[in-house]
Structure 1
Amino acid sequence: MSQPMRHLAAAQSVPFGTSGLRGLVTDLTDRVCYAYTQAFLSTVAADSSSVVVGHDLRPSSPRIAAACIQAIRDAGRDAVFVGAVPTPALAYYCALRHSPGIVVTGSHIPFDRNGIKFYRADGEIDKADEQAILDAEVAVPDTLSPAALPAVDTTALDAYIARYTGFFGQGALAGLRIALYEHSSVARDVLRSVLECLGAEVLSLGRTDTFVPIDTEAVRAEDVAQARAWANVHRFDAILSTDGDADRPLIGDETGTWLRGDVVGILCAQYLKADVVVTPVSSNTAVEKCNSFRQVVRTRIGSPYVIGGMEAHRGTGLIVGYEANGGFLLGGDIESGSLTLKALPTRDSVLPMLALLAMARDKGYRLSQLGQTLPRRFTASNRIQNIPLNVSRTLIDTLEKDIENAAATMAPNSGDVTGRDTTDGLRLTFSSDEIVHLRPSGNAPELRCYAEADDEERAGGLCNACLQRISEKTLGAQIDDPVAHH
């Protein structure tokens, strides 16, 4: 019996989030994954004879990928299985093949959750595509037993590596010693291949088969301490890592200090000589204050909104996008002599890594000196976990209706409210030029806080104190120490 996909999604608590669908592994049953794939095939991918499928290194990902592939085969289509690959590698390969794609990943969220991202041949699906998928009629077989995964096609990984080595060139990073915090990143071997091809010496650290939920926007206290400890033991020029599916970079300098993702985005955009920069409202305001770009466009948080902003300004020069998590989107091809770096309008982690390393080398700087070229604005972010979405929304709705209460809750010692932005959550600017922003996560049951100030310690204090007040007064939850960087 057929039914609308949205009914099945609601019944199983597996909705679309900020970017892709997300849910508990126990809710992402073979039946649900098969149905979502069926809906994708009948709408967004209706005219395609083949679909590229890959996954990250979460324990549940191969099983989910098998259910998706079974739906593809039952629809009479070919499944091109590329195995465990970075999400941007799959997106890039889809563009080269002019094929849609599916990647099974929960990105940075804990391993008891997972998700699926769908790609058109020209990039990520948008919110209209999501609605079409949810409106589609699906009919899952009564008996469903997905076949074993097919052999892996390595062409996607080869093409992804060649994208960077071909543009930056052999020897581009010669003489640099780069530490890789490998953990459970699906890009850990890809990154080694790229860096070594470019001439760098690579030091492997922290590799594990246990999934580690690295969130590049709210770095765990243990990862902050670990990077600095490694810097005291090992000599390196930079330490690099990614989140689980490798669409968000984690870049640390020679002291083991992690750079904030929105600062990485500004520096990468400067290196590429971008004309227009599209970034969410939560990103560091140094992007405007540095006066490096003809136009800065602000959006809601999430790559679909950044992509929408990039598409809206197409034809106005080189357009790039980035998020506060460091994921970087390239909206057009870049020519350098006879070399071309092709567009990749989905979050990528490798390009910003290589851009910052090349930029530091060109300037004769250590990586720690790059951020010092920007206006002194420091940001911090943190979260309260395991907060139901309706609780976060109710809290923010209450604060929006009473700005005096909102100011007292969010930043009671920052002066009068001089700006109010409800693009995504509630973002207040104060007469001290300090900013505090509250927003429910789109991918997990979390309440996120972003803060910005002219002083690093102050930014962290604003973020921590805001969440602590909320925690004590209304939620009774515990929070970790925030991370703040220029």
Structure 2
Amino acid sequence: MSLKFGTSGLRGLSVDLNGPAAALYATAFARYLIAAGHARKGDVILVARDFRPSSTAISSIIIGALIRAGFEVRNCGTVPTPALALYALHVRSAALMVTGSHIPADRNGIKFYTPDGEIRKEDEEAISREADALRKDGNLLDETPADAFDIESDVRALFVERNATLLGPNALSKLKIGVYEHSTVARDIFTHVLKHYGAEVVLLGRSDIFVPVDTEAVSFETVTALRAWASEHQLDAIISADGDGDRPLVSDELGNPIRGDLLGLITAEFLGASVAVTPVTSNSGLERRGTVKFIRTRVGSPFVISGMEAERGTDVIIGFEANGGTLTVDPSTVNGTALAPLPTRDSLLPILAALQLRASREQPFSAIVRSFSLPVASSNRLENFSSESSLALMTKLRSGQEALTEFLLPIGIPVEVSDIDGLRVTLSDGSIIHLRPSGNAPEMRCYVEADTEEKCRALLQRGLELLDAWRLSLY
């Protein structure tokens, strides 16, 4: 079975999750909530989903399993993950989000929330133990689907209310903004909030077929479409998100995507944060900005949350990932309005922070991006790169300096290595290449930094070629 916990929740093939496995993990989560004192039988638990084809059936199985486990279930429909998480915190309920996030439609997953927020790695281990115990008793794996009372409108309304006071009245009235709708559950909320702030909105690319959009490694096809739309409609920016709406995508006026780690930095400054927690994959130039103290972690929102909690006591602390999703663990004040903490990835906060910055300056987005003077960075992934291949490669490269130097010889000479998550290697010319197995799918990710666009593109291409050659050498 392909199912396993990755950087954010349970992931695997849709055919593996859509059936007894959905009931298994829902029941395991229910048992964990009760055993850990997070909930009691009879409590309300929330379930939402994204638009991928398998999500409706999986969520119905989960609802049935939770009802049989003794909970009152509420169906939150198709809403962004941060909207579900916000509502769950508001009503002090546990929640499950059926989503594969940015990965293809043949895969899916579940994100789990206790009444205190997104689960941690130790929670994942406890849920896995409950699931292992349940596998021994097939009678408990009833996959009969069920429905529950629908509260989707309430969940949407609370999320809109949260974001409708972050900026001043008509703050975006001078901007013409495209919304790349595709199949993200955030699309209608994005449009509503932008119009609330007076923006002229152009709707783009709505799809009834699920489109996997990875905001950390934006595909060539997506960039081509963004550039065409930006030119055709003379847009100031285009915004979008991944499938479950917790990773933002913002492009400049030319349709070029803005890096998620820069969106995180913009959000940190927007909130007046004194500390930001971000994974090692985020741009190495963030620290040089000097406005925020940075703490680096492994990749994955649970690690970012743990890092944020360790820094509590600071006036304002923010977390963000290289995909742009931002997290907060303490209340803050924005434009005189209290902003409740949301300790899970949010896409709308960084989008609004970036658009506010654009609206406040008489400059196009591309010039604003250049003004931050971050190293040129890019990333991409090789799909269908098995976990066995990834493990073999990482084992080889960690076996000693000689093995690493030999592998990277066509690219450059390694002079410094970080082993926090994957291998992040600084080369003799100052450029960086970071090789890391994905925690969500059978993919190998490659992140690079260089001092020019040309060098960055060449380094990324060469890094992907080396990875592909390694994969082929195993067969």
Residue 298 (structure 1) aligned with residue 290 (structure 2): no
2:338 matched residue in structure 1: 340
Distance in 2, Cα, partners of 1:290 & 1:335: 23
2:23/2:142 contact within 8 Å kept: no
- Aligned partners of 1:318 and 1:148: how far apart in 2? 41
8 Å CA contact retained: 2:20, 2:141? no
The answer (yes or no) to whether the contact 2:384–2:443 under 8 Å persists in 1 is yes
Q: Distance in 1 between matches of 2:159 and 2:436?
A: 34
**Contact 1:249 1:353 (8 Å CA) reproduced:** yes
Change (3 A) 1:473 1:73: closer
Query: Which residue of structure 1 aligns with residue 247 of structure 2?
Result: 248
Match runs of 1:467-486 below 5 Å: 467-475=464-472
| Whole-angstrom distance in 2 between the partners of 1:238 and 1:320 | 24
* Equivalent in the alignment of 1:198: 197
Structure 2 distance, partners of 1:171, 1:455, is 37
Where does residue 281 of structure 1 map in the other structure? 280
> Could you tell me which residue of structure 1 aligns to residue 64 of structure 2?
70
Q: 1:152 to 1:30 in 2, by over 3 A?
A: farther
Tell me, yes or no, if structure 1 residue 364 matches structure 2 residue 366.
no
Distance verdict in 2 for CA 1:143–1:296, change over 3 Å: closer
Given the alignment of the two structures, is residue 456 of structure 1 paired with residue 445 of structure 2, yes or no?
no
**Counterpart of 1:29?**
18
SS in 1 for 2:402: helix
| TM-superposition CA deviations, 1:115-162 (whole Å, max 9, x none) | 000011221100110111111233544654212454343111100011
Alpha-carbon distance in structure 2 between the residues aligned to 1:62 and 1:371: 40
Distance 1:28 1:122 in 2: 26
From the superposition, tell whether residues 155 and 143 of structure 1 become closer, same or farther in structure 2 (CA, over 3 Å). closer
Q: Which amino acid is the alignment partner of residue 233 of structure 2?
A: H
Per-residue CA deviations over 1:24-45 (Å, capped at 9, x if unaligned) read 1110133111111111111135
Q: Counterparts of 2:346 and 2:453 in 1: how far apart (Å)? A: 27
From 381, 387, 390, the equivalent of 1:389 is: 387
2:440 paired residue number: 443
Does structure 1 retain, via aligned residues, the 8 Å contact 2:175–2:359?
no
Shift in alpha-carbon separation, 1:383–1:144, aligned structure 2, 3 A: closer
Look up the match of 1:480: none
Matched, 1:108 2:106: no
Output the amino acid matched with 2:16. Answer: D
Residues 171-217 of structure 1 show CA distances to partners (whole Å, capped at 9, x for unaligned) of 12112111011000111111111111111111101001010010111
When structure 1 is superposed on structure 2, of 45-54 and 266-275 the one drifting more is 45-54
- Which amino acid is 1:113 matched to? R
Residues 102 and 119 in structure 1, CA contact (< 8 A), matched pair in contact too: yes
Corresponding position of 2:352: 354
Query: Structure 1 residues 453 and 365, CA, compared in 2 at 3 Å: closer, same or farther?
Result: same
Distance (Å, rounded) in 1 between the aligned partners of 2:225 and 2:409: 31
Secondary structure of 2:188's counterpart equals helix
Matched-pair contact (CA < 8 Å) for 1:170–1:198:
yes
Amino acid in the other structure paired with 1:377: P
Once the two structures are TM-superposed, the CA of residue 403 in structure 1 deviates from its matched residue by 2.5
The question of whether the paired residues in 2 share the 8 Å contact of 1:253 and 1:259 is answered with yes
- Native 8 Å contact 1:81 1:151 kept in 2: yes
Separation in structure 2 between the aligned mates of residue 475 and residue 374 of structure 1, nearest angstrom: 40
Query: Contact 2:64–2:145 (CA<8 Å) still a contact in 1?
Result: yes
Does structure 2 retain, via aligned residues, the 8 Å contact 1:409–1:470? no
> 1: CA distance between counterparts of 2:166 and 2:226?
29
Question: 1:40 is matched with which residue?
Answer: 29
Which amino acid letter does the alignment assign opposite residue 119 of structure 1? Y
Cα distance in structure 2, aligned partners of 1:462 and 1:429: 12
1:5-24 equivalences under 5 Å are: 12-24=1-13
Amino acid aligned to 2:436: R
Cα distance per residue 1:307-351 (max 9 Å; x no partner): 110011111221111111111112322224641121111111100
Give the distance between the partners of 2:421 and 2:470, measured in 1 at CA. 23
Task: Work out the CA distance in 1 between the residues paired with 2:249 and 2:326.
Answer: 12
**Equivalent position of 1:92 in the other structure:** 86
Shift in Å, 1:443: 0.3
Q: What is the one-letter code of the residue matched to 1:37?
A: A
Distance 2:193 2:368 in 1: 22
Tell me the distance in 2 between the aligned counterparts of 1:335 and 1:197.
20
TM-score (normalizing by structure 2): 0.94
390-399 or 466-475: bigger deviation: 466-475
Residue 424 of structure 1 and its aligned partner are, at CA, apart by 0.6
Q: Tell me the secondary structure at the aligned position of residue 392 of structure 1.
A: helix
Are the counterparts in 2 of residues 51 and 78 from structure 1 also a CA contact under 8 Å?
A: yes
Structure 1 counterpart of 2:407, one-letter code: T
Corresponding residue for 1:228?
227
| Cα offset, 1:470, TM superposition | 2.6
Q: Distance in 2 between matches of 1:20 and 1:337?
A: 34
Q: Aligned-pair distance for 1:435?
A: 0.7
Q: Secondary structure at the match of 1:347?
A: coil
Deviations 1:34-70 (A, max 9, x none): 1111111111355241111100001110111111111
Q: 1:422 to 1:444 in 2, by over 3 A?
A: same
TM-score, normalised with respect to structure 1: 0.92
Hey, what's the Cα distance between the residues in 1 that align with 2:379 and 2:471? 20
Task: Look up the match of 1:7.
Answer: none
Any runs of at least 4 consecutive aligned residues in structure 1 with deviations exceeding 4 A, and if so which? none
8 A Cα contact 2:44 2:74, kept in partner: yes
Secondary structure of 1:162 counterpart = helix
CA contact (8 A) 2:98 2:108 kept: yes
- Identify which of 120, 126, 143 aligns with 1:126: 120
What runs of 5+ residues in structure 2 fail to find an aligned partner? none
- Letter paired with 1:461: A
The 2-side partners of 1:316 and 1:250 are apart by: 29
Instruction: Tell me the CA shift for residue 408 of structure 1.
Output: 4.1
Matching residue's letter, 1:34: A
Q: What is the total number of aligned residue pairs between the two structures?
A: 464
1:54–1:19 Cα change, 3 Å: same
RMSD over aligned CA atoms reads 1.7
Q: Percent identity?
A: 44
Equivalent residue number for residue 177 of structure 1: 176
The match for 1:145 is 144
What one-letter code is carried by the residue in structure 2 that aligns with 1:26?
V
Shift in CA distance, 142/336, structure 1 to aligned 2, threshold 3 Å: closer
| Aligned AA (1:188) | R
